[in-house]
Structure 1
């Protein structure tokens, strides 16, 4: 019976890991797409602190 519990625990942990990997992969894809859209729009973006992001002057050639 202990073998059955171990097997179930491993399957549950494995499926949870797979779900987490998939969710992280999709999140990364979404974030990369958002970053590409921001870069393509040419609008100065804001970072989490509300100040203009660094390096935009270099990209604009200023």
Structure 2
């Protein structure tokens, strides 16, 4: 029974684990690239900030919802 749980007795499991780790690293790297691109796109297409003069909000400045 001890031999069944011994990871050094199964070299193919080390190889499979290394392969899995490589796939996960690659997937994480691609995910990070995609998220960075999305963040850059959002930053580039963000609407006017609150400090910009916005003619639509001129009449609502200083008013509350009451």
* TM-score between the two structures when normalised by the length of structure 2: 0.58
Q: How much is the aligned-residue C-alpha RMSD, in angstroms?
A: 2.6
Structure 1: gaps of 5 or more residues: 45-59
Unaligned runs of 5+ in 2: 1-5, 52-66
Which of these two proteins has the greater Rg computed from alpha carbons? 2
- Give the length in aligned residue pairs: 46
TM-score, normalization by structure 1: 0.61
The structure showing larger relative contact order (alpha-carbon pairs under 8 Å, at least 6 residues apart) is 1
